[in-house]
Structure 1
């Protein structure tokens, strides 16, 4: 029987889902896309209705190569790597101009212990992003000693609604697990109060405590501002945390990064275990500081991936990470 269990952000990674590289952009004007949070050059994403494979094949090849290199590294460390299926033509067509994505597996799923939650994404083009993951859920999650639920489907927003409706929105990039404590970020760009309230009520019977972390409105997700490397060590952008570092983490050693570094995803690396961490060569300075704490650092260039707003944590969804 497959095992589903995620104890925290840094215990030994055993089974992970790795992202595909499919994206169809909305047919609305680019100025309506709400992409100010992107830290990289998003100029390639400026054509309404563009499909990566059809219209930007060279970029799509680079993107796939980055994920393949990350997958190879994971396998070399003994991690079982699973993949979502590709989007179907029907799934692309039903988007009706809103766009579609099969790009970052972190946000449409949330794994807390043996609880697997299908998220509810704020951006309309991402709201079907969980669908290619359903085969993995049926094959690996449902047979396990686990619970699978879904956040209620968000309401359809009125035309011109800047907040895109009342949700509830709950995205995996905003959720960090640390034993019984679950940190949930909210910036106005992704997870909202209704999503946090739903998660708090769902997790309470399982003994989990949800702690909201308010974020700078230019920070997409909590995992862009805060990375838990191992017990007692974190990477953090304090400028992005409106109320400062959570009190429960105040005694931890920290590797600070600037707001610009955070938006470029310097905190969005991936611990393979408490002794090994993966990041981008762009953040070699962060890697050197991690090594000073005795952490071995591996590097994979995810420049193209980062230009779309996500990096290592965004591209992976753990199903088994424990002791």
Structure 2
């Protein structure tokens, strides 16, 4: 590994040095591709307000960008380098198998996964996100040139039969090819935790284990914990030995034994709020979608005062921050960021 390698992030909590923060500048509502419909059936709610025909109202985009600019300004005050995606607009694209339009680069956490000195493009659930990592291509090239290992999972075909559109008792993803969102994974050094759910199948977990090699163990988080999309509003690693859990989803029966070795604190009731009349695309539990800047400092939705108090009791200072339309656009502070460099080394915490 080169000494100037720009990618070095082994967990969710060590002191942050560099980060990618997403953009809502070109936020549009993609057509409901098969993956989105299947996940909606599994999760029991629609993604994005059906009354929005194409683009979100301009004020939502402007206010979101204001909030992101304020957020990144606070990060820069802490000497954290901030990168942003390129503003790209890829519409009406096709593969040999289907036609779709594009998502928007608001949540880099969904499409890119940092594991140590590697950065991985993941094989995502939604057809509309098939080419989303193009927004980060120049940054990824720079990371590679610095010595980082840049790899991409095989592009899935995402054929109709890969989705379960009928049986609500089963997951939305069938196990025909590796498919998973990066946000299905949370990291604790040599141990990676992968949520098998509507946004990640077991073939995806197997591919990830093969990709990261023998230095890491990928542990399955059961759909009984949460069967819909992503893990970062269900479990959050705060520091070695301390875990924040969603009390509506996590309990003694479904949490893996390895995680019972840590102290588990449960998030309080979330404060619900809205800055628009648009139907939210994320649950109220986006309020616990926090970002650790160090083991003693967290970025938390400023409305979540009870959660802030809980963290402060555990010796974690909080940077209360506003993201007015996070639930509308589908991402909180962990979702809209990707930590690429922390002051950390590969360790085992279990």
The answer to whether TM tops 0.5 is: yes
For residues 53-86 of structure 1, give each alpha carbon's deviation from its aligned partner in whole angstroms, at most 9, with x where no partner exists.
xxx1111111111211211111111110011101
Distance 1:6 1:39, change over 3 A: farther
SS of 1:202's equivalent in the other structure is helix
SS of 2:303's equivalent in the other structure is helix
Q: Does 1:132 align with 2:141?
A: no
1:26 counterpart (27, 30, 33)? 30
- 2:185 corresponds in structure 1 to 175
Q: Does 1:74 align with 2:83?
A: no
SS of 2:119's equivalent in the other structure is strand
TM-score of the aligned structures, taking structure 1 as reference length: 0.87
Distance 1:195 1:258, change over 3 A: farther
The structural deviation recorded for 1:250 is 1.1
- Structure 1 segment 69-218 matched on structure 2, within 5 A: 69-88=70-89, 91-94=90-93, 96-139=99-142, 141-158=143-160, 162=165, 163=172, 166-188=176-198, 190-205=199-214, 207-215=215-223, 216=225
- Contact 2:8/2:116 (8 A) holds in 1: yes
Distance 1:41 1:319, change over 3 A: closer
- Contact 1:39/1:307 (8 A) holds in 2: no
Q: Does 1:62 align with 2:71?
A: no
Unaligned 5+ runs, structure 2: 166-171, 272-282, 345-350
Alignment partners' CA distance in 2, 1:33 and 1:66 = 32
The alignment of Structure 1 onto Structure 2 pairs a total of residues equal to: 313
- Contact 2:297/2:318 (8 A) holds in 1: yes
- 1:303 corresponds in structure 2 to 324
Alignment partners' CA distance in 2, 1:180 and 1:7 = 8
Distance 1:111 1:151, change over 3 A: same
Alignment partners' CA distance in 2, 1:239 and 1:322 = 33
The structural deviation recorded for 1:293 is 0.9
RMSD: 2.8
For residues 257-316 of structure 1, give each alpha carbon's deviation from its aligned partner in whole angstroms, at most 9, with x where no partner exists.
369787431331001001101110221111101101111011111130232221011111
SS of 1:24's equivalent in the other structure is coil
Deviates more, 1:245-254 or 1:196-205: 245-254
Unaligned 5+ runs, structure 1: none
TM-score of the aligned structures, taking structure 2 as reference length: 0.81
Distance 1:259 1:129, change over 3 A: farther
The structural deviation recorded for 1:35 is 4.3
